[in-house]
Amino acid sequence: MKNFHLPLPDQTHTHLKAEAERMQVPATTLAREAVDSWLRQQARQARSEAIAAYAAEMAGTPFDLDPDLESTGIEHLLKETKAQK
């Protein structure tokens, strides 16, 4: 594990310490979890944007989604959504 010095504004530090006390965990644990969560979110967003860009680029080409496969996929998602309700 690597150490990383991260200066925080006073208010952020105060809120972090208060939340750590409330949860009875070290503030460094909360900060680490927050950074990890943000990084995962950024990775998901980047992946989603890359997929959308690829889909837009491939639209109308031979690599575009097969209409029958697309229709079947939509039907499946709709059935799953109804089953979850």
* Element of type H or E holding 40: helix 27-58
Tens digits of residue pLDDT in 56-81: 999 889 888 788 888 999 999 999 88
Tens digits of residue pLDDT in 8-32: 999 999 999 999 999 999 999 999 9
Tens digits of residue pLDDT in 32-49: 999 999 999 999 999 999
pTM over 0.75: no
User: Is the pLDDT score of 85 beyond 80?
Assistant: no
Q: In terms of Cα–Cα distance, which of 12, 30, 10 is closest to 22?
A: 30
Q: What is the domain partition of the chain in residue ranges?
A: 10-84
- The reported pLDDT for the residue numbered 63 is 86
